Structure 1
């Protein structure tokens, strides 16, 4: 027999067919679920009201019902538009939960490696170029060809796990931030920035130029804030002047610099200092006389041909070619300046 408890069930079923939904769409799906239950039994009393209190109570009921399954219908504001977004996420990252993923253990390890490089990107750019993303396969214990890596990267973008900009740079999507927020906070606590206004994680925005100020804002939070106020909320620096506004430091892709191509590694006390763990550091350039010289490992890799002759060339844009141009092959002796 139909009951009022069928509304959360129908609502969650409609959410499962979508990755991330806006608050407006979520409320439409909620209303449609109520109407469907009412249509199944005209005598059934299913309350519904289009107000914030009713919506919040419904969300509480939904999350209470799925909490035993380690699931949550979580919310987060889109960093670009500022719209409130929702997604059904898994809050349990144990091995049993990971069985349900569509990706193989090798692909999952590749995704984890990409997340690390995005979180450790210099200048809080929280992004990774196409070339740097493809180079991450070199640190995997199992082999993955360039073509396979390109296909997996496309899948990550298509399924909403990563965002790819027009410049070809990869960054965290809203789905990834929602799903992996506990993991990100516990693993990269020192790299995470919280918005001074909304207190949510910032990967795209601005921060104050005053030393030791600590103010950082999403772009949409900054636009809303400066409509009524002109000073920094922490240090009272005047942002109204054009010269001062131009000094605001970007967070995200705009902060990517020339050293973006270098791989960052985390040194943890729980990781053994084995040769296998140290291998990725060999790909970093050695600074000599103000020049970036290729290491022996890089010189070997630059002359090594691909094992798969049918692989297609990497698709990169002009920006990535400028930032991460391949090092020349060694012809003997030190490279001339």
Structure 2
């Protein structure tokens, strides 16, 4: 185990720079960084396998002391699929959408809001469905859909063209959001919020999507694990073998899921392998969307 000098020095600055370049960090991705820093500081080879979670926590703790006056903090959560702890740099004060305004255009920010609305208020989140994700083709379709106003919207209200993106523009935006660590794309082709996004948008998601119906009953579309208190968008992680809910003791029927399984287990689900082919290759979501747009233009 390397011996780290006390205090904040060049090694800590190097660690923070490496962190900022990656958006997120895990123990596995952090080990080589700390090993390289330790090798340079101690003048002897330090192997990545010699780095422990305590070493990583020490670097993060010292970094947070310097970041706190800037309203920034490195926080962590468990990845909902593999249960790996993920660390991300979070802005603790400003509105997340205000932060996006520094790197995205107004139309792109509106598109992001449409993505979030579709994930948490779309057709796959009604009744007993709780998908909280979006297929690639649906995400691209959102680009040419008019923005829906959440407040005082009427049927006769003029539709805004703000946030309208073509299929290729929408695909570029989705790739950008994924590369920057805001979205994750599953093997089945569904986009969902990444651990970084769930940490960064936590308060905003609750304020935006958890409200009351006309009868005053709460509608909590953003749900939290009763054990770790983090947002759940994929499944209910459990260590007990019982299929009964630990709170209400209701038995799970084995049919209703949380996450993309809500969609992929439905009888009308069409898997990506069922797409039409061009030259023996599956059509991309952009190609399918452009074809649908051409068909709509012909009908009109």
Matched, 1:11 2:19: no
Residue 51 and residue 81 in structure 1: after superposition, are their counterparts in 2 closer, same or farther (change >3 A)?
closer
Cα offset for 1:96?
Answer: 6.5
Matched, 1:201 2:173: no
Cα offset for 1:89?
Answer: 2.7
Cα offset for 1:73?
Answer: 1.0
Residue 100 and residue 38 in structure 1: after superposition, are their counterparts in 2 closer, same or farther (change >3 A)?
farther
Superposed CA deviations along residues 165-199 of structure 1, whole A, max 9, x for unmatched, are 33332221222212222221222232111123322
| SS of the residue 2:203 aligns to | helix
CA contact (8 A) 1:162 1:171 kept: yes
TM-score between the two structures when normalised by the length of structure 2? 0.66
| SS of the residue 1:87 aligns to | strand
Separation in structure 2 between the aligned mates of residue 110 and residue 10 of structure 1, nearest angstrom: 35
Matched, 1:174 2:195: yes
Which residue in the other structure is 1:232 paired with?
245
Q: Which runs of 5+ in 1 are unaligned?
A: 41-47, 206-216, 261-311, 332-337
Which residue in the other structure is 2:88 paired with?
87
Residue 130 and residue 86 in structure 1: after superposition, are their counterparts in 2 closer, same or farther (change >3 A)?
same
Which residue in the other structure is 1:265 paired with?
none
Which residue in the other structure is 2:63 paired with?
62
CA contact (8 A) 2:78 2:85 kept: yes
Residue 236 and residue 5 in structure 1: after superposition, are their counterparts in 2 closer, same or farther (change >3 A)?
same
| SS of the residue 2:232 aligns to | coil
Cα offset for 1:139?
Answer: 1.4
Cα offset for 1:98?
Answer: 3.9
Which residue in the other structure is 1:273 paired with?
none
Task: Give the number of the structure whose alpha-carbon radius of gyration is greater.
Answer: 1
CA contact (8 A) 1:21 1:86 kept: yes
Separation in structure 2 between the aligned mates of residue 235 and residue 180 of structure 1, nearest angstrom: 29
Cα offset for 1:135?
Answer: 2.8
Match of 1:250 among 232, 246, 257: 257
Which residue in the other structure is 1:280 paired with?
none
Separation in structure 2 between the aligned mates of residue 161 and residue 50 of structure 1, nearest angstrom: 27
Cα offset for 1:78?
Answer: 0.5
Separation in structure 2 between the aligned mates of residue 72 and residue 128 of structure 1, nearest angstrom: 29
Cα offset for 1:328?
Answer: 11
Separation in structure 2 between the aligned mates of residue 17 and residue 158 of structure 1, nearest angstrom: 12
Query: Superposition pairs for residues 177-326 of structure 1, below 5 Å?
Result: 177-189=198-210, 190-205=220-235, 217=236, 221-222=237-238, 224-226=239-241, 231-237=244-250, 246-247=254-255, 249-256=256-263, 314-315=286-287
Cα offset for 1:126?
Answer: 0.4
Separation in structure 1 between the aligned mates of residue 58 and residue 230 of structure 2, nearest angstrom: 22
Cα offset for 1:124?
Answer: 1.3
Which residue in the other structure is 2:135 paired with?
129
Residue 178 and residue 96 in structure 1: after superposition, are their counterparts in 2 closer, same or farther (change >3 A)?
closer
Q: Which runs of 5+ in 2 are unaligned?
A: 45-49, 148-160, 211-219, 270-283
Separation in structure 1 between the aligned mates of residue 244 and residue 100 of structure 2, nearest angstrom: 46
CA contact (8 A) 1:163 1:171 kept: yes
Superposed CA deviations along residues 296-334 of structure 1, whole A, max 9, x for unmatched, are xxxxxxxxxxxxxxxx983459xxx9xxxx889879xxx
Separation in structure 1 between the aligned mates of residue 191 and residue 53 of structure 2, nearest angstrom: 38
CA contact (8 A) 1:168 1:316 kept: no
Residue 246 and residue 38 in structure 1: after superposition, are their counterparts in 2 closer, same or farther (change >3 A)?
same
TM-score between the two structures when normalised by the length of structure 1? 0.59
Tell me whether 163-172 or 77-86 shows the greater mean CA deviation: 163-172
